[in-house]
A and B are shown apart, each in its own frame.
Chain A
Amino acid sequence: MNNQTGGGEKFSAPSRRNPEFSDPASKPWVWVGYALLFLALLPIWPITGNWWGIPAWAVFAVLVSALTSVFTAFVILRVWKDSDEPFSGRDDGDD
């Protein structure tokens, strides 16, 4: 075991091996997007009164949650790229 890397010599990120792989976690704008959504969903904003008979802060929080779902689906389907082909082989375990 390598003390510096904790065995890291055996571990390599897949992105280095496969140029067709795109990891959302490596895109700074994805992090910024989630940071903004996280701030938006906190019930700290001066939103008063009711929207459609429901407290506006609660409606806003649910809308931000819906927006987070849309953004997440977008990131999963458009930013995360993986070229692996459908797996068809038999599984022989990993012993």
Chain B
Amino acid sequence: MATIEALPFGPGALAVVGFYVLSLLAIGGYAYAKKRDDSLGDFYLAGRSMGFAVLILTLYATQYSGNTFLGFSGAAYREGLGFILSIHFMTAIVVAYLFFAPKLYRISREHRFITPGDFIYHRFQSRVLCVLVTLLMVYALCNFTLAQMKTLGIAFEGISQGRIPMWVGVIGLAVVMLIYESLGGMRSVAWTDTIQGGILLLGFGILLYLALNEIGSLPQAVAKLAENPATVKKIMPPDAQGIRRWISFFLMVGLGAAIYPQAIQRIYAARNAATLKRSLAVMAFLPLTTTVVAVLVGVLMAADIPDLQALAKANGAGATAIPSETVFTLLCLKVMQASEFGYWLVVLLFAALLAAVMSTADSALLSISSMVTKDIYGKYINPNANQARLTRVGRWVTWGLMIPIVWTALTYEGNLIQLLKLKFELLIQCVPAIYLGIHCKWLTARTVTAGILAGLAVTLGLSWAGMLGLSEVNHPTLWGIHSGMIGLAVNVMICLTDSFRVPRDFSC
């Protein structure tokens, strides 16, 4: 079984990765030299001066992560063409921005927002609600960062070939991230994202070329899948339950990923509305160049190696290996063994994987730091702290948070798409506070808080129904619908009761 550590990377590959890592530190140093002052706006939003090229690449690098390479291709291997769903939900994220970003951008400019919590407090004037939303977002981001660090460990295993222990690699790369992030804050993150986003785009191009060149065309793969009774369902459309799952996944990821704090902060950080608009317009097309490739790789590999599970058992896969999530690695192994040219293409591809992971993790980490510093420390622990003090605390928070995240990443065993699901279930309970909050004046803090708490209770009650003794088994999904979406439905219904209690101001 070709787990990632089986890839034949040599010292040359390590040198390329070493050069890449050093370049990130150099960017951090340059960003530090370019800092204007010690304000939170400068540290966390790069002085609200992001231009088009930087904004589009940082949005891209942040949104598409290591999970897109490993998790999505693995899911497409398991589910076949049905995972075309991922193209839809990645597009849905951009559509979701449209329903709150135009107003949020303007309000953020007027009131100098730094975090999503700033908007929540400005809109609802409720500390309880602000803390609740902040905690949910911090939880989701910790989960998100954890998934990235886990992928970082897997990628590093492949590149180091076991010459350097995995934990040394993960901690080493985490320290590099922390250094450049501490030096330049969002400016460092955005500039490194620009390089990482460029490598990522190139990486998906290479991946597409490799997949079609090494395995064959999609029509050939479809014909092979159709011939095999064990795989024919991978080219069939989803059944009724599958369609409900499509809808649920589409809404959950679309609505949830758009309100990721790091995404919201990039809306705040745009130089002007025209820059933000152009960037989002381009983002609308990127699922077609990125997610499509990941799905294609999964489907092609499903036709080429239809029974990875059996192969894994026969070859004795590593304890942490999820067979379907090794399809990306298997493809790389095939290519590397084919030619010297293929070897270097895979080295570049792994640089892209590292870029994807690091760019997503550093953005999430910076957002967590900003929320803990601004919305918790600055409001409740030390309300008199000045901007320079808060910025300093933010740097320490970033370092402090990384320790438990790295530790958990090194010990967590489970599949990556599962990690993706867990965080959305809770994060989407913040949807009414932002989407309805920005448009509907009648919405009150008390109702939104009640809605979130009810949504959380329903979500956790279903997810842990078995453990709580409410049912024989846990219900992460019910009739194909995620428990988080059922919780959100309850949450929204509670919020809508406000529209009836304030009949004279019914409009949004």
Interface residues of A (CB under 8 A from B): 1-8, 10-11, 13-15, 18, 21, 23-25, 30, 34, 38, 41-44, 50, 52-55, 57-58, 61-62, 65-66, 68-69, 72-73, 75-77, 80, 82-87, 90-95
- Known contacts A3-B444, A44-B243, A94-B111; A87/B49 CB under 8 A: yes
Chain B residues touching A, range? 35 or more
Q: Are B442 and A5 in touch, CB under 8 angstroms?
A: yes
- Known contacts A4-B502, A73-B281; A21/B112 CB under 8 A: no
Q: Are A3 and B446 in touch, CB under 8 angstroms?
A: yes
Question: Which residues of A lie under 8 Å from residue B285 when comparing CB positions?
Answer: 69, 73
- Known contacts A6-B446, A53-B219, A84-B109; A72/B284 CB under 8 A: yes
Q: Shortest distance in angstroms between A2's beta carbon and chain B's nearest beta carbon?
A: 8
Q: Does B91 contact A (CB under 8 A)?
A: yes
Select from chain B the residue with minimum beta-carbon distance to A64.
Answer: B88
Q: Are A65 and B272 in touch, CB under 8 angstroms?
A: no
Q: Are B243 and A14 in touch, CB under 8 angstroms?
A: no
Question: Which residues of A lie under 8 Å from residue B110 when comparing CB positions?
Answer: 14
Q: How far is the CA of A4 from the CA of B501 in the complex (A)?
A: 9
Select from chain A the residue with minimum beta-carbon distance to B254.
Answer: A38
Q: Are B39 and A92 in touch, CB under 8 angstroms?
A: yes
Q: Shortest distance in angstroms between B373's beta carbon and chain A's nearest beta carbon?
A: 12
Q: Shortest distance in angstroms between B439's beta carbon and chain A's nearest beta carbon?
A: 6
Q: Does B256 contact A (CB under 8 A)?
A: no
Q: Does B113 contact A (CB under 8 A)?
A: yes
Question: Which residues of B lie under 8 Å from residue A13 when comparing CB positions?
Answer: 103, 438-439, 441
Q: How far is the CA of A13 from the CA of B105 in the complex (A)?
A: 11
Given A58-B237, A82-B106, A94-B40, 7 further pairs, Cβ under 8 A = A1-B126, A6-B124, A13-B438, A21-B102, A43-B243, A69-B285, A84-B272
Q: Are A58 and B81 in touch, CB under 8 angstroms?
A: yes
Q: How far is the CA of A82 from the CA of B280 in the complex (A)?
A: 14
Question: Which residues of A lie under 8 Å from residue B84 when comparing CB positions?
Answer: 58, 61-62, 65
Most chain B CB within 10 A, of A10, A52, A75, A95, is at: A95
Question: Which residues of B lie under 8 Å from residue A15 when comparing CB positions?
Answer: 103
B14-22, B92-100, B401-409, B472-480: which lies at the interface? B92-100
Q: Shortest distance in angstroms between A87's beta carbon and chain B's nearest beta carbon?
A: 5
Q: Are A76 and B280 in touch, CB under 8 angstroms?
A: yes
- Known contacts A43-B238, A55-B237, A76-B280; A11/B122 CB under 8 A: yes
- Known contacts A13-B441, A53-B223, A62-B292; A87/B87 CB under 8 A: no
Most chain A CB within 10 A, of B81, B238, B271, B387, is at: B81
Q: Are A5 and B441 in touch, CB under 8 angstroms?
A: yes
Interface bits B30-71 vs A (CB < 8 Å: 1, else 0) = 000000110111100101110000000000000000000000
Interface bits B439-452 vs A (CB < 8 Å: 1, else 0) = 10111111110000
Question: Which residues of B lie under 8 Å from residue A61 when comparing CB positions?
Answer: 84, 87-88
Q: How far is the CA of A34 from the CA of B449 in the complex (A)?
A: 29
Which single member of B81, B246, B272, B284 contacts A76 (CB below 8 Å)? B284
Q: Shortest distance in angstroms between B275's beta carbon and chain A's nearest beta carbon?
A: 8
Q: Are B222 and A54 in touch, CB under 8 angstroms?
A: yes
